[in-house]
Amino acid sequence: MADKPQSGEILGIPYNFERPSLGRLLSSYWQPGKGMLVKKPFGIGYTLNLANWRSWVVLLAAGAMFYLEQKSGGEVAEVDEDDGPVEVVVDDD
């Protein structure tokens, strides 16, 4: 039985199941000169490149949305049920 490859691509999506070292973990999240998304050091897909300023914008936006959700208490707007049913009349001329 042949050994399965530990890293590669399937349908253009990278995967890597090799045991990550600390150096590989740190270097994968900080890659100056690369784009906003880089290959994950372990697992399937991509992760944010913290050396790219666009990644920090994404993190700040996600943090702001999380803060606003926590501040509001996760309340859902209530539907006013006192109005009762509504009749809609469509005129076919």
Condensed to tens digits (0 to 9), the pLDDT of residues 12-53 reads 999 999 888 898 888 899 999 999 999 999 999 999 999 999
Provide the CA 43 distance to its chain's centre, in angstroms: 15
Q: Do β-strands 37-39 and 13-16 pair in parallel, antiparallel, or remain unpaired?
A: unpaired
pLDDT value for 30 = 93
Total of domains in the chain: 1
- Residues in Cβ contact with 16 at an 8 Å cutoff, skipping those fewer than 6 apart: 6, 7, 39, 40, 41, 42, 43
The answer as to whether 85 is a domain residue is: no
CA angle 63, 21, 48 (to 5 degrees): 25
The pTM assigned to this predicted structure is 0.64
Does pLDDT of 56 surpass 80?
yes
pLDDT value for 47 = 94
The answer as to whether 28 is a domain residue is: yes
Domain that holds residue 53: 7-72
- Which residue spans within 1-84 are E strands per DSSP? 7-10, 13-16, 37-39, 43-44, 46-48
Does pLDDT of 1 surpass 60?
no
